[in-house]
Amino acid sequence: MIRICLLIALVAALAVGGINFFVVKDKLNTLVTDRNTNRDNWHSTQAALSKTNAILVKTEATLKQTEQTLADTQSERDKAVASLATQTKRANDLSDKLVKTTQERDDAQNQLAAYKTTGFSAEQVAKLGKTLKDAQDAIDAGNQEKAVLQKAIARLNTRLQKYEGTNTVVTMRADLLGKILVVDPKWEFVVLNIGEDQGVKPEGELLVSRDGKLVAKVIVRTLDKNRSIANLIPGWKLGELIEGDEVSPAHPSSS
């Protein structure tokens, strides 16, 4: 009887121990899982923090660059405004001078005609003729200078409109046509056989075509009298540019 009781007690103790073992094991597994989850969350948080710090550093650098670019743009705009005012005053002064010189020429012509009909000496007529020629030469020189000034003013107006954001589209003559002379695929620029004398304008956009098909769009960056250099506009390269490709205004003027 005692043995039976001891046996029952032993079995009960083993049963209780087994139950406790499984309960403790479950709790231990739960603790391990929680620990692993917390550890993974910590690693994720650290990674996110590092990424956020990197973005913050990049953003600060971009902000500084933007502020510098804004300052440079403001300085360029101020220079363009000052230069435009100077060139405009010079053009106005030249126009006044041309009016005066033209009047002097007309007076000289009238006097010469009068002298020829009144029988003045050849010396007097020759002197008046020289005066007339000098006046005409001054008018021709003034007209040439005025044309140069008008081109300079047009360039300055284009720059000023760009800086002030009043006109983002530069129009050019609708009949303006040219060809590519040189292609640099590495730096993505082309040299054109047309320039300021043909009607090309700074920052003007040109369509590049071959056999009637659009190949690319370029924007004029450097301008000379009969040559210009243009850069390829990103996103507009539909094919490889080659020498001989034709160019025409992307925004032709209506006049």
Instruction: For residue 243, give Cα distances in angstroms to 78, 181, 185, 211, 231.
Output: 39, 5, 11, 13, 15
One domain, residues 151 and 191: no
Residue 127 lies in a domain: yes
pLDDT-wise least confident of 150-154, 179-183, 185-189, 194-198: 150-154
One domain, residues 83 and 135: yes
Instruction: For residue 6, give Cα distances in angstroms to 12, 20, 27.
Output: 10, 21, 31
pLDDT at 166 over 60: no
pLDDT at 12 over 80: no
pLDDT at 132 over 90: no
> What is the 3-state secondary structure of 33-97?
HHHHHHHHHHHHHHHHHHHHHHHHHHHHHHHHHHHHHHHHHHHHHHHHHHHHHHHHHHHHHHHHH
Instruction: For residue 30, give Cα distances in angstroms to 19, 21, 36, 37.
Output: 17, 14, 10, 10
pLDDT at 191 over 70: yes
Identify the pLDDT of residue 213.
Answer: 95
Give the chain's mean pLDDT.
79
Q: Which of residues 120 and 140 earns the better pLDDT score?
A: 140
What is the domain count for the chain? 2
User: Which amino acid is present at 147?
Assistant: A
**In the Cβ-directed half-sphere of 64, how many Cα atoms lie within 13 Å?**
6
The residue out of 168, 186, 204 marking a domain boundary is 168
Q: Is 96 exposed, middle or buried (0-12, 13-18, 19+ CB in 10 A)?
A: exposed
One domain, residues 153 and 101: yes
One domain, residues 125 and 208: no
One domain, residues 19 and 134: yes
DSSP string, 141-168: HHHHHHHHHHHHHHHHHHHHHHHHTS--
Residue 255 lies in a domain: no
Average pLDDT over residues 76-84: 77
Residue 254 lies in a domain: no
Identify the pLDDT of residue 239.
Answer: 92
User: Which amino acid is present at 59?
Assistant: T
One domain, residues 15 and 117: yes
Question: pLDDT for 20-63, tens place per residue?
Answer: 655 556 666 777 777 777 777 777 777 777 777 777 777 777 77
One domain, residues 116 and 182: no
One domain, residues 157 and 66: yes
Query: Position of tokens 């360029």?
Result: 76
| Structural domain harbouring 1 | 1-168
Residue 237 lies in a domain: yes
Residue 193 lies in a domain: yes
Average pLDDT over residues 158-182: 78
One domain, residues 105 and 229: no
- Within 8 A by CB and 6+ apart from 196, the residues are 151, 223, 224, 225, 228
pLDDT at 189 over 90: yes
Residue 212 lies in a domain: yes
One domain, residues 203 and 231: yes
Identify the pLDDT of residue 242.
Answer: 96
The residue out of 134, 168, 202 marking a domain boundary is 168
Identify the pLDDT of residue 131.
Answer: 73
Identify the pLDDT of residue 240.
Answer: 94
- Please report, for the domain that includes residue 194, its CATH number: 2.40.10
Task: Provide the pLDDT confidence category of residue 122 given band limits of 50, 70 and 90.
Answer: low
Residue 173 lies in a domain: no
Question: pLDDT for 220-241, tens place per residue?
Answer: 999 999 999 999 999 999 999 9
